[in-house]
Structure 1
């Protein structure tokens, strides 16, 4: 899910922004399909068998910080102080400047908003400005001049074809995965608490029924092909729906049967968002609102804290290299490399001119990241070159940006040399009471097909 759409959680997490050398104490550990509507394949999408997903690279981290320090550092006095400390450590990072401008606006400090937006304009920031993030000043000529400057840097790559257009307008999809055995895409619904399959020809049906096993609002999906299972991260229900826990679920892909569920205890701030699965079946899941990562070992009956709460700033996308030696976690400010055995982690550094903040979905293709970035005015899909030995992201190639179908893209599923991207999640399409709009006021969900190499 997107970053600046969850301000209360960020206000708590940003006090730990300067945690590159420490983290607070861990959070406690937790103890048949019906038909759906059809997807319309794009006329430009040829009929073909989908190739097997491409393997990821082998990489090893170095000079990492401890995942569990003996004593937690005292948090800064305010979220803004934490951001300022992170800026001192990363003075050229545009993502931190953007967040500083945003939170200064939330605090009502107009002069400081412009201070940080002016600094952003002097940086290499290339994701533009989202007017809704700066409502305090958005109507002012000075802001509009800055927005024109920054939005003018955005690269336009808008030729990716529509692979599928779904008839179910109120699906509100957030997570997508690829079932290589059946050559089908799997798509989760936040609103309807279900998972559908999309066949290569466009046929659509439910693979996991609504609220199966008590499942809540569906976020991340991850296929474990060796075990033929689907892992699902789901959040608590809202809007008067029957209650559901924050939990991850394991389903059999062959028949949709529930094989297990693993919930966090009720209470506290948590949002289980995205998942990664190792070769031995260990599952890692990001906790966006808690600011950490949980782990489920093979045979375990409960999630356990792996990276302590508050260590990261809204951790979201997560990916594992092919060798299983390094886990990568995207948070609001960038990407972390993590030792999947010890939990030791360090923040990757971007080379000058490289923007790696605001990532939602994260995958690996070869030695590179494939990332959906949705901060700023122009969400994009990007290929990011990783120098694992140096702990640095050295280059970004924009694969899709300013696409007419983009409306908060969230995640992508890699299928060979292509990524299938949720183009228009419509996460903001709500009325004044916070309810999703009725179907007649929503758009048909779109899946783009983007060449990644």
Structure 2
């Protein structure tokens, strides 16, 4: 619990400052807000859920959501409003579930802080492998993206590095008992702007559809970075019309990027048009609404955004108070 409290004390400080953004971004917000409709898509059983990550099975349409408290993973089935428990809390060394993804082989990837990343077979719910950081220095394994070749890339928000797990490494770990080290692939610590030692830097990460590059956001510095694959060459994306201050989870489809912003009292989603080479991003809208309830991440499916309402600031890790029950996943249409 010490690490959780420390992380989110820093997050509160990070989120408290940038409450007012540039006029260009605000100008883009009005028409988007007028068209968007926010409703509750799914509810999560439990009074201490504080959901954080979300991923979708590309074959069944089922979605999976992780709980910051205890690491429970919930299954969201289309047509069923109430989620069911898929993985119980406090198993396999998992005490908090952050980033979640489902790959094309129907494996569920869960960032099971503080240990690292756990990979499960969805059909059997069996743990296939666990990748952990071998040292005990401060780290915050946070978010994840899986490229078209099945390789997973994971951000560390304290170390400003991106870890990599290839399909071959996953197969080898499974064959050798399921345990393997989580090793950095790309080090951005000398590239992101200087921050306090315990500031949250790299957070959300997404992969371009064909696997040409990754995009990852510096939550504190408000910058977006492009990582070329497989070379690892890093470039700062040229932003126009605003910045990505407090950017958390992201979703990329074709040339559109959506970013969740868990800004205290100004919960928001921003939308960006990404250039053909991934080196530019133009702000095309911003949706700010208290109904988003501290959005940590999101995904887009069937023309709608599914937004994780973490409520971290309502009696959770970033603030006092009482959450609004039940915890839920929002559906956003028209943005």
1:234–1:273 contact (8 Å) kept in structure 2: no
Query: Which residue does 1:197 correspond to in 2?
Result: 75
CA-to-partner distance for each residue in 1:373-426, whole Å, 9 max, x for gaps? 22364221222111143721123223x3224x2321111122131111113x12
Task: Report the structure number with the largest CA radius of gyration.
Answer: 1
TM-score, length-normalised on structure 1?
0.61
Query: Which residue does 1:306 correspond to in 2?
Result: 185
Query: Which residue does 2:62 correspond to in 1?
Result: 184
1:170–1:442 contact (8 Å) kept in structure 2: no
Q: State the alpha-carbon separation in 1 of the partners of residues 12 and 260 from structure 2.
A: 20
Alignment: residue pair count: 308
Q: State the alpha-carbon separation in 2 of the partners of residues 322 and 390 from structure 1.
A: 11
Query: Which residue does 1:369 correspond to in 2?
Result: 257
Query: Which residue does 1:319 correspond to in 2?
Result: 206
233, 248, 262: which one aligns with 2:117: 248
2:217–2:223 contact (8 Å) kept in structure 1: yes
Map 1:5-24; keep pairs closer than 5 Å: 6=8
Query: Which residue does 2:283 correspond to in 1?
Result: 395
Map 1:435-446; keep pairs closer than 5 Å: 442-446=324-328
Query: Which residue does 1:221 correspond to in 2?
Result: 100
Query: Which residue does 1:354 correspond to in 2?
Result: 242
Give the unaligned 5+ runs of structure 1.
Answer: 12-97, 103-115, 128-149, 237-244
CA-to-partner distance for each residue in 1:330-372, whole Å, 9 max, x for gaps? 1121211111212111111111x32332211111122110111
1:418 aligns with 2:297: no
Q: State the alpha-carbon separation in 1 of the partners of residues 301 and 243 from structure 2.
A: 25
Give the unaligned 5+ runs of structure 2.
Answer: 1-5, 170-179, 193-199
Secondary structure of 2:98's match? strand
1:381 aligns with 2:269: yes
Query: Which residue does 2:173 correspond to in 1?
Result: none
2:134–2:182 contact (8 Å) kept in structure 1: no
What RMSD, in angstroms, separates the aligned Cα atoms of the two structures?
Answer: 3.3
**CA shift in 2, pair 1:155/1:5, >3 Å:** farther
Deviation at 1:429, TM superposition (A): 2.9
Q: State the alpha-carbon separation in 1 of the partners of residues 66 and 277 from structure 2.
A: 35
25, 41, 51: which one aligns with 1:163: 41
Deviation at 1:168, TM superposition (A): 2.0
Q: State the alpha-carbon separation in 2 of the partners of residues 365 and 290 from structure 1.
A: 28
Higher strand share: 2
Q: State the alpha-carbon separation in 2 of the partners of residues 171 and 293 from structure 1.
A: 27
Query: Which residue does 1:272 correspond to in 2?
Result: 141
Deviation at 1:195, TM superposition (A): 0.2
Map 1:85-100; keep pairs closer than 5 Å: none
Secondary structure of 1:299's match? helix
Deviation at 1:299, TM superposition (A): 2.5
Q: State the alpha-carbon separation in 2 of the partners of residues 192 and 125 from structure 1.
A: 41
TM-score, length-normalised on structure 2?
0.80
Query: Which residue does 1:15 correspond to in 2?
Result: none
1:10–1:314 contact (8 Å) kept in structure 2: no
Q: State the alpha-carbon separation in 1 of the partners of residues 311 and 37 from structure 2.
A: 21
